Amino acid sequence: MKGIEIRSKRKQLGLTQKELADKLGVSHNTISNWEKGEVIPNSKDSLIDSFLNINIENVKNENSNNIVNEPPTGYYHPDVSASAGLESEMVNDELKRIPINIPNWEKGVEFINVYGDSMYPKFCSGEIIGIKEVERQYMNYGYAYVIIFNDGQVYLKYIRKGKDDDHWLLASENPKYEAKEYHLSLIKKIFIIKGVITKTTM
């Protein structure tokens, strides 16, 4: 089904639906409808076939007005912060996310906003952090992580050893916030902090 192929190729190239629409000279709704399975008119067949046959390894840099060669470092989610609902917001944020390229960073980083003062001055409200999911066994005590709980709560905290191997102590940088201990069964995912940027540098 061509709709699935279009979506797959678009994601391989690191393009949003709007970016692809701009490059192909159609509307964003058209791309959305095609990816949902709407019949592609015969007049667009050659255009779509050319897009699907792009060799990703040979694609030119976007600055040359061709489709992007390398995927971006990651995506900035302007409406997402380290607060409740982060996971679902990131999944459903495709139309709003902004590709970011940062030299010497690994790929697959998600960029979200810092909100609140619990980690001040280490992380300040208004800054942007790059995060990447990590398995629990690779977590190191004493470092800051973004933690997603099973109930949707999200915290940006230091992880420290709890009373036993089944508990973590989540601590803030700001001394006015008390550390709290949580059983590991309550925690769904953790994200390592890959770096911090400010909006004035974007």
- The predicted pLDDT at position 94 comes to 59
Query: In the numeric block, which tokens belong to residue 190?
Result: 């953790």
Q: Which residue has the higher pLDDT, 87 or 8?
A: 8
Domain boundaries, the chain: 2-64, 74-201
Phi, psi of 19 (to 5 degrees): -60, -40
Predicted TM-score (pTM) above 0.75: no
Top-ranked range on mean pLDDT: pick from 3-12, 69-78, 177-186: 177-186
Confirm or reject CATH 2.10.109.10 for domain 74-201, answering yes or no. Answer: yes
Query: In the numeric block, which tokens belong to residue 23?
Result: 């490059």
User: At the fourth CATH level, which superfamily is domain 2-64?
Assistant: lambda repressor-like DNA-binding domains (1.10.260.40)
Of 2, 1, 108, nearest in space to 51 by CA: 2
